[in-house]
Structure 1
Amino acid sequence: MHIAAVASLILSLVGNPSYGNPVSRDFADTFADPAVIRGLDGYWYSYGTSDPLREGEGEHHRLPIARSSDLVEWTYVGDAFGEGDLPSYADPSTLLWAPDVRYLDGRYVMYFTVTNSASTPHEWDYSIGAATAPTPAGPWTPAPEPVVAPRPSGGAYWNTIDPAQFTDVDGGKYLYFGGFFGGLWVTELSADGLQPVGRPTQVAVDNKFEGSYVVRRDGYYYLLASSANCCAGPTTGYSVLAGRATSPLGPFTDREGRPLLASRAGGTPVLTQNGNRWIGTGHNAQLTDLAGQDWMVYHAIDRSDPFLDEPYGVNERPMLLDRLDWIDGWPVVRAGAGPSDHSSERPVTRGPVDERFSGDLSGWRDTGGWAVHGGYARHTGGEQATLTSRKGLGGDRRAETDLRLSAARPGDAAGLRIGAATAVVSGSGLTVAAGGDRRTAALPGGAATWRNLAVTVEGRTITAEVTSARLGDPQAAVSLDSPVPLSGAFGLVAKGTAEFDNVSAARLAKPVTRMAPAPEPGRKLDADEFGTLDRAWRWVRENPAARVAGGALRWPVQDGDLVGTGNTASVLLRTPPRGDYIVETKVTLDLGEGTVRNHQQAGLVAYASDDDFARLSQVAIWNTRQVEYGRELPFADRLSYGGNIAGAPAKTTWLRLAHHVDRETGEHEFRAGSSRDGRTWTWAGVWTFGKDTSPRIGLVAHGGAQPAVEAAFDYVRFYRTR
């Protein structure tokens, strides 16, 4: 057994001790846009965007590859492409970004962004390329043509970037791609996954999303995508949002029913920064461990070390790993707690039963026809036979194996046995049988190529799922409530010629079902209901057009801004209460929909100075309307600005900032929340201020005077945090 495999087994037996983020630290200082897959050799492989891996290295790796036996300790194994083997249609100056790797019909397929094509003189004529390989580490052979060619738009090209492949239950293959300039799209693919079929369909509005990733769960298709900016150094506000649909083509809507295609586009938060050192948490992929727990890999930025070599150079974005929960039908990282610096749990990558068939069958009871052949357990013969593990495992559990039927003759089948129940694949599909009951689902493409079969047992419910590579795209799934107890021995079952590898059985992970606590207002501490303008307010650059009338502060949106060195916008400030508090306002601002009105906005601000603030406002960003939580601060003799997305606004939007002082660091943490009705709140990211600052709370209304529009603030209220 490999040394790393032995170490992983020991760790699993002593109770999954903690690990620290980033998990890419052993081989890379930066490893952006990570993808992940488990290979047929039992190792996990990750793939990153083309950057230098280490400080001071200077040379870009073209889609670097790393390998791990436990998802925590990773080793660099090489690059997908060298100097002389770029795709033939790529310009020699091209960058390769954002890989996605799948196992399709017996080979590995890598999709990636090609930033510069040789077919046009434009420098950023993005396209989606593909390459194939016999193993997850390569060698990779580029396809002769892009999967999605450059898409012109006037004098520029749409952001045809960030591919993610998905295979549906009917065997149909899809590719999601796109970015802020042009939106997110999906195209159907040919059977080999290398050519588009038909016209693409837009699934999310432009100027809000990039970094697509799609999984299917409980009959829904979930589109996870990143929003805001990936690469603004110490003010990077990237985060992951989700929508779901009943078709891979959409339409996708968020938890509140807001379409991802609307001008006021929705998006349910999945992952965002929480006030620790990690900001810019985004561009995700996901996986399932051997206990059935989902995990997310993503990149993030250490706010104290945001650049690789020098300020405002390559953003340093290492790979992080955290638990992905499903609560009330929606994915969320760590129940909403955000990125971890240290985790008290790690993925289960080896169970009490864990067999790679590198030796003999001494740990198994053989009823005939079984042998180890070429690193697999192989069964030959026309009669059904079982290979039973000598290790028992009761209770709720999960078992899985990679398998294939070499001949796939009528009546041949291969699968798993748990007690009196079986789950097998055959030419007829996936069949689960227990106590005389039986259910079958069609399996597109048959069982002659390698597939993964995973079976979970919860009480008397047995669920089986077949995937190509365990990436959230089941091609067949069957669930059965067994009339008999699902206890007894675990083993492999086969009739005909079948091969098995990577067999495991582990205790089923206990799902997290409750969200982490969100800020809640308690006792009211202070307020201005705007009968008049309270004397506690102080102006920075007073705006005489702002006035109190009709029970609201009415403020014509100014042609000014706080971002940058100009600092022409007015700010209305007051001193907040001491300690932890929540400040809330209700603001009405008619920004219309769909038209370009950059960057009219109104909302709250946590303000230390003109060059050190966090601004929460509903804002027009090109054709979209968003709740942006922006941060400006001085860094390396410049001003850095970036945003985090805090929900979808309405014409009237409720905004909150929840203030907390970190007891260890003394930093001021401000978490943003927004609501479209004053009752249901979307909580977003955290921006921090230094312990030596005293941020005040204020109101702003600026960003452009045309067309003329007025913001109306109904109140500002401070509450003690519960």
Structure 2
Amino acid sequence: MRPTQGIRWLLAAAAAAAVPAFGSPIAPRSAGPWLAIDSDFPDPGFVQGDDGAWYAFGTNGNGRTVQVATSPDFETWTLLDKEAMPTLAGWETAVDHWAPDVVRRNDGKFVLYYSGEAKSDLRHHCVGVAVSETTDPTGPYIPNAEPLSCRLEQGGSIDASGFLDRDGSRYVVFKVDGNSIGHGGDCNNGVAPLVSTPILLQKVAEDGVTPVGDAVQILDRDDSDGPLVEAPNLILHGDTYFLFYSTHCYTDPKYDVRWATASSITGPYTKSGRQLFATGQWNLTSPGGGTVCGCGDRMLFHGFCGDRRCTYAANLEIRGLDVVVL
């Protein structure tokens, strides 16, 4: 994912809307997705706390390294005046902290995965990991001294998302940021030869932090995806693994949310070829960066609202290998 500064065309493309008071809840629409967080809150990940409330985490913005919002019912959301990760690890700069995702461990603490800029290779990123000091999902989170994945020679690692399998095994899916070392054009990867942007699956220990074995590739871009695939999010529904992801450049009207399915966690994954959310549907502009509840019935994603990327929510239903927006 990328910051929003300098995006001019979206001011004309997005529908004009009045902005309520900062952090105020937004009433949901009667059908389809609704505007959940009317503020710059891209790449939302979310988790449910022991109190039954929902907690969302967003890319750096509004003066925060990792933003936090909460909802009692998944419909109305409030942006909290809190920094989820107040300290940084030694390997990262303070510039970029993208696409946070949070999972709960068996010990009740929470693990935060995020993308941070590597001091050793500026403008390229690693997947960092941080653990909550307590069982409070809003943090504070303390980052590990070492990142989970870098792969800087391939462009870096970004967009990590945690997954707990039925047998108790834990995994992290993330994108190798190959387009960051592309040859220019759309998202720096629109000029041939196009660079691979694979989605990798990394098994981790029960702590959610320690890698187990080597990561395996489960998806990559093809011509239908434009310059990249990114923002992976994995769930298990019945006996089928659903891998949600975005295609094209985040500044492009073609940016969207799609999914692929597999009967084994390591694949092979078959792309559905369908868009769950796309520009023009429900007045959305460049929707993407989605996270789906493990139960498969609700989702948060971002879309442009003026020159910002606001967070939208949606109710879903999985029917066989199909995903339907309610």
TM-score tier by shorter-chain length is 0.7 to 0.9
Listed as ranges, the matches of 1:473-488 within 5 Å are: none
1:279-314 deviations in whole A, cap 9, x for unaligned? 1111111237xxx88121110113xx2x1xxxxxxx
- Aligned residue for 1:30? 40
- Aligned residue for 1:64? 67
- Report the alpha carbon displacement of residue 209 of structure 1 after superposing the two structures with TM: 0.7
Which of the numbers 305, 316, 325 marks the counterpart of 1:324? 316
Listed as ranges, the matches of 1:406-425 within 5 Å are: none
Which of the numbers 64, 71, 79 marks the counterpart of 1:76? 79
Q: Which has the higher helix share?
A: 2
Q: Which has the higher strand share?
A: 1
Which of the numbers 101, 107, 113 marks the counterpart of 1:111? 113
- Aligned residue for 1:271? 277
For residue 292 of structure 2, what is the amino acid of its counterpart? Q
Listed as ranges, the matches of 1:366-385 within 5 Å are: none
- Report the alpha carbon displacement of residue 211 of structure 1 after superposing the two structures with TM: 0.1
State the secondary structure of the residue aligned to 1:254.
Answer: strand
User: For the residues of structure 2 that align with 1:101 and 1:293, how far apart are their CA atoms?
Assistant: 16
| Moved >6 Å (runs of 4+) | none
Q: How many residues align?
A: 273
Listed as ranges, the matches of 1:562-573 within 5 Å are: none
State the secondary structure of the residue aligned to 2:215.
Answer: strand
- Aligned residue for 1:405? none
- Report the alpha carbon displacement of residue 124 of structure 1 after superposing the two structures with TM: 2.3
- Aligned residue for 2:266? 249
User: For the residues of structure 2 that align with 1:287 and 1:221, how far apart are their CA atoms?
Assistant: 13
1:248-300 deviations in whole A, cap 9, x for unaligned? 11110134xxxxxxxxxxx4322222355311111111237xxx881211101
* Larger-Rg structure: 1
For residue 24 of structure 1, what is the amino acid of its counterpart? I
Question: Which ranges of structure 1 fall in alignment gaps of 5 or more residues?
Answer: 1-10, 53-59, 256-266, 308-315, 335-722
- Report the alpha carbon displacement of residue 159 of structure 1 after superposing the two structures with TM: 3.8
User: For the residues of structure 1 that align with 2:290 and 2:161, how far apart are their CA atoms?
Assistant: 10
Which of the numbers 226, 234, 253 marks the counterpart of 1:214? 234
- Report the alpha carbon displacement of residue 236 of structure 1 after superposing the two structures with TM: 3.1
C-alpha contact 1:179 1:209 (8 A) present in aligned 2: no
User: For the residues of structure 1 that align with 2:212 and 2:243, how far apart are their CA atoms?
Assistant: 21
User: For the residues of structure 2 that align with 1:295 and 1:278, how far apart are their CA atoms?
Assistant: 17
TM-score by length of 1: 0.36
State the secondary structure of the residue aligned to 1:196.
Answer: coil
User: For the residues of structure 1 that align with 2:73 and 2:129, how far apart are their CA atoms?
Assistant: 28
For residue 97 of structure 2, what is the amino acid of its counterpart? L
Listed as ranges, the matches of 1:446-525 within 5 Å are: none
User: For the residues of structure 2 that align with 1:247 and 1:97, how far apart are their CA atoms?
Assistant: 29
Which gives a bigger RCO, structure 1 or 2 (Cα 8 Å, sep 6+)? Answer: 2
Listed as ranges, the matches of 1:198-347 within 5 Å are: 198-206=213-221, 207-230=227-250, 232=251, 235-255=252-272, 267-287=273-293, 294-302=297-305, 305=306, 307=307, 316-334=308-326
- Aligned residue for 2:89? 87
Listed as ranges, the matches of 1:92-241 within 5 Å are: 93-105=94-106, 106-114=108-116, 116-118=117-119, 120=120, 122-133=121-132, 134-148=135-149, 150-153=150-153, 157-179=154-176, 181=178, 182-206=197-221, 207-230=227-250, 232=251, 235-241=252-258
Question: Which ranges of structure 2 fall in alignment gaps of 5 or more residues?
Answer: 1-26, 179-196, 222-226
- Aligned residue for 1:347? none
C-alpha contact 2:37 2:79 (8 A) present in aligned 1: no
Indicate the RMSD between aligned Cα atoms, in angstroms: 2.4
- Report the alpha carbon displacement of residue 30 of structure 1 after superposing the two structures with TM: 1.3
Identity of aligned residues (%): 25
C-alpha contact 1:180 1:209 (8 A) present in aligned 2: no
- Report the alpha carbon displacement of residue 17 of structure 1 after superposing the two structures with TM: 8.4
C-alpha contact 2:232 2:244 (8 A) present in aligned 1: yes
Q: 1:204–1:69: structure 2 CA closer, same or farther, 3 Å change rule? A: same
Q: 1:248–1:328: structure 2 CA closer, same or farther, 3 Å change rule? A: closer
- Report the alpha carbon displacement of residue 179 of structure 1 after superposing the two structures with TM: 4.7
